[in-house]
């Protein structure tokens, strides 16, 4: 299927490379100069931009595609997240879409001929009270009706599934059960960048780094060209996939957006021996908020709540970090002696209902792929495929019709947690 990829990875290629030495390994993708004109220009070389380029080239045979990236590919959120993939959503618009993504994750290593290390280790959503259990049951039932795997576990079953979890009587925070999606898990985030970039480049997509978009030219109802730090480039269609800077795109196009930018912190511990083989999620207002998994290298990867006010400083608030660590210690007291190796705060495109936006914006031929909040990573394959289909056909695929920008004005918001027009719980 992917004969165009060069070099193609296989056991034989590995042996051949061993014989030939290091010279056998070539760069994964080609650095080409920016051309004057393209059929589609994608602004933003993150996961969504690269995936959109790949699916446009592979499934829709679009000829000339460019991905413009302000810094380097993989240097944004796609290289700094907690790598969790899942489709355990309540609302149909969300769970059908994210289930499409999980199905694509399942086959992505084979499709890209690049090991993205999809690890279906199970995502365990913990309940903190008896009242949480019917809420989780409702979500699980909604998922099962949509053909998605979901399993409600009582404490007894949970103890067997996650033996390392502290369920003793003296634990700090209550746990009453869990909703488990076994096909959820983790994916190696950097490999997703490399895999999509390599596959897109092999299909002729130009990936242009150090190329910042500074302006847009239009004639009537169509955009015609982009001004960039590397010169002017004509574009038949334009996709903006610039999470963290979507507000700037809105300003450039003169369209105010229901988006603001918040910080989310994450951290990784020093590598330790295998401790945890699932993804634990404990999101319980008033107790603690944490999600934690162990990477293949052994580091415990942890994240929690947003910093809860708009910021671009990329410096998280210390007290929020403390919340995460305290919740972590309550779940897994055995990690008390483990040290934090690195910690960061990334920019999140927060929409006013917590769901993404995929729609035309301002011009007939300009598309916005934005507002993925803190869940953009798991959406990459489905988002890329749907966005490519949208751009190629001009019609929004059914899977993303609910993500239209107009939903806010018409009242069809996708407010998964149900707390109103704010990006965070107040």
Partner 1 sequence: MNPPDTSALRTLACPYCGPRELEEFTFRKTLPPPSSATPYARIYERVDSLTQSLEHWQHLRGCRAWLLVNRNPSSGAVVSVRLLSAAES
- As measured in angstroms, the least distance from the Cβ of 262 to partner 1 is 9
- As measured in angstroms, the least distance from the Cβ of 322 to partner 1 is 9
- Please report which helix (H) or strand (E) contains residue 15, including its range: helix 11-20
How many whole angstroms separate alpha carbon 310 and alpha carbon 351?
Answer: 12
Bin 18: left if φ > 0, else alpha if -120 < ψ < 50, else beta: alpha
CB 201 within 8 A of CB 322: no
- As measured in angstroms, the least distance from the Cβ of 371 to partner 1 is 11
How many whole angstroms separate alpha carbon 47 and alpha carbon 77?
Answer: 8
**139: which strand partners?**
none
What is the chain's alpha carbon radius of gyration, rounded to the nearest angstrom? 22
Q: Identify which of residues 88 and 351 has a Cβ nearer to partner 1 in the complex.
A: 351
- As measured in angstroms, the least distance from the Cβ of 304 to partner 1 is 14
Q: Identify which of residues 168 and 256 has a Cβ nearer to partner 1 in the complex.
A: 256
Helix runs in 269-375, H state only: 318-331
Look at strands 37-43 and 231-240 and give their pairing. parallel
CA dihedral 41, 45, 46, 49 (to 10 degrees): 20
- Closest by CA position to 301, among listed 279, 329, 319: 279
- Please report which helix (H) or strand (E) contains residue 223, including its range: strand 222-228
Give residues in contact with partner 1 (CB under 8 A): 246-248, 250-251, 256-261, 308-313, 315-319, 352, 408-409, 421-422, 424, 426
- As measured in angstroms, the least distance from the Cβ of 235 to partner 1 is 24
- As measured in angstroms, the least distance from the Cβ of 321 to partner 1 is 8
């Amino acid at each position: 299927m992917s004969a165009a990829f060069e070099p193609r990875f296989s056991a034989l290629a590995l042996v051949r490379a061993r014989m030939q030495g290091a010279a056998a390994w070539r760069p994964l993708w080609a650095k080409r100069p920016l051309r004057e004109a393209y059929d589609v220009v994608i602004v933003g070389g993150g996961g969504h931009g690269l995936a959109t380029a790949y699916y446009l080239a592979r499934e829709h045979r679009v000829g000339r595609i460019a991905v413009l990236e302000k810094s380097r590919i993989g240097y944004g959120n796609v290289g700094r997240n907690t790598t969790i993939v899942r489709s355990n959503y309540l609302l149909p618009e969300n769970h059908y879409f994210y289930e499409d993504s999980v199905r694509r994750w399942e086959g992505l290593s084979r499709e890209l001929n690049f090991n993205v290390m999809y690890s279906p280790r199970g995502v365990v959503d913990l309940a903190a009270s008896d009242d949480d259990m019917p809420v989780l049951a409702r979500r699980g039932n909604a998922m099962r009706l949509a053909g998605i795997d979901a399993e409600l576990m009582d404490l007894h079953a949970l103890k067997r599934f996650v033996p390392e979890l502290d369920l003793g009587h003296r634990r700090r925070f209550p746990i009453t059960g869990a909703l488990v999606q076994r096909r959820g898990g983790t994916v190696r985030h950097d490999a997703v960048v490399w895999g999509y970039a390599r596959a897109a480049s092999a299909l002729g997509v130009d990936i242009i780094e150090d190329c910042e978009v500074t302006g847009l030219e239009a004639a009537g109802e169509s955009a015609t060209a982009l001004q960039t730090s590397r010169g002017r480039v004509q574009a038949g269609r334009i996709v903006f996939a610039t999470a963290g800077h979507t507000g700037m795109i809105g300003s450039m196009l003169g369209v105010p957006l229901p988006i603001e930018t918040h910080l989310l912190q994450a951290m990784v511990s020093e590598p330790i021996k295998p401790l945890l083989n699932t993804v634990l999620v404990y999101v319980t207002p008033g107790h603690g908020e944490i999600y934690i998994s162990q990477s293949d290298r052994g580091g415990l990867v942890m994240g929690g709540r947003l910093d809860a006010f708009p910021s671009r400083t990329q410096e998280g608030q210390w007290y929020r970090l403390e919340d995460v660590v305290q919740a972590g210690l309550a779940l897994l007291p055995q990690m008390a002696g483990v040290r934090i190796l690195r910690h960061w705060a990334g920019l999140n495109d927060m929409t006013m209902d917590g769901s993404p936006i995929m729609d035309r914006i301002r011009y007939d031929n300009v598309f916005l792929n934005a507002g993925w909040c803190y869940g953009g990573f798991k959406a990459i394959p489905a988002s890329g495929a749907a966005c490519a289909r949208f751009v190629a056909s001009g019609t929004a695929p059914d899977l993303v019709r609910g993500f239209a920008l107009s939903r806010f004005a018409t009242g069809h918001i996708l407010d998964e947690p149900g707390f109103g027009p704010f990006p965070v719980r107040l």
